[in-house]
Copies of this chain bind each other. A is one copy, B any other.
Amino acid sequence: MNVAFIGTGGMGLPMARNLRRAGHAVTAWNRTRAKADPLAADGVVIADTVSAAVRDAEVAVTMLADDHAAEEALTAGILEALPRGAIHAGMSTVSVAFSKRAAKEHAARGQGYVAAPVFGRPEAAAAQKLWVVAAGPAETVERCRPLFEALGRGISVVGTDPSAANVVKLAGNSMIMAAIEAMGESFALAKASGVDPRQLLEVVNSALFQSPLYANYGAIIAEKRFEPPGFRLRLGLKDAQLVSAAADAVHVPMPLASLVRDRLLRAVAEGHGDIDWSAFSSL
């Protein structure tokens, strides 16, 4: 398939490479072009503009940092240059509102839109271990499926309205943040009470949650190993703010999500925006 890949940062670069390795023709664009250049060695074409990248695409994948970057790519290239009948697969973690707007704009131009955010960190992206949460018109999603399969270990299709995928992604992140906060508090209680947090973590792993996510974050939190960051705290704050906005829009109180957002805000305000996001629970 002819694929445009917009945004080759920490997540996007290995994803673009995996699409190329799966046999697709990939044209990539990145705002800082140097970050895309390594892909040339894999046979990826590097484009100078978003428009040039998407001009011949069957599917244009976006993997950008935030709503602002996604909005810019949309209005400064994708909408105008993506062929009629082609699909925009938005894989960034963006707002529910953005997906609603993008779906409308694309529909007006005869283009398809699928929201397909992923769970997984850069290592998972490199190892083709992402999990893709996709939503959009069934036929549109199906056309993207081979791409999603090349990127991850699984796909969940959660609805025909693209924004459903963003809701699920944000709800999921919200649960991860809650688990992080809960471990931060519990490990602090253990430690102050004279119990080694690693012993508590062992119980968490073997008896309580038996979950790789708890095992991974638990180890980071128990050892306060927040550098280098797997996912930067300031991006975690962005996600928490997207959760807040999504909750506001449908009038759902989420006090735990609010608590976490305030902890992240505090951490950023105190200068910890560039360490691992799980640190917010322990500062």
Among the listed stretches A9-17, A58-66, A86-94, A189-197, which one makes contact with chain B, having 4 or more residues with CB under 8 Å of it? A189-197
A156 contacts partner chain B, Cβ-Cβ < 8 Å: yes
What is the number of residues of chain A that contact chain B, defined by CB distance less than 8 Å? 73
Chain A residues engaging chain B, CB cutoff 8 angstroms: 96, 119, 131, 133, 154, 156, 158-159, 161, 163-164, 167-168, 170-172, 174-176, 178-179, 181-183, 185-190, 192-196, 199-200, 202-204, 206-214, 241, 243-244, 246-259, 261-263, 265-266, 268-269
Cβ–Cβ < 8 Å partners of A253 in chain B: 185, 262-263, 265-266, 269
A154 adjacent to B206 (CB under 8 Å): yes
How many angstroms from the CA of A207 to the CA of B173 in the assembled complex? 12
A246 adjacent to B193 (CB under 8 Å): yes
B156 adjacent to A203 (CB under 8 Å): yes
Give the number of copies in the complex: 4
Q: Taking CB as reference atom, which chain B residue is nearest A240? A: B248
How many angstroms from the CA of A209 to the CA of B175 in the assembled complex? 9
B167 adjacent to A257 (CB under 8 Å): no
A195 adjacent to B168 (CB under 8 Å): yes
B258 adjacent to A258 (CB under 8 Å): yes
Cβ–Cβ < 8 Å partners of A248 in chain B: 241, 265
B163 adjacent to A175 (CB under 8 Å): no
Q: Pick the most buried of A181, A209, A256, A263: most chain B CB atoms within 10 A of its CB.
A: A256
Q: Taking CB as reference atom, which chain B residue is nearest A182? A: B178
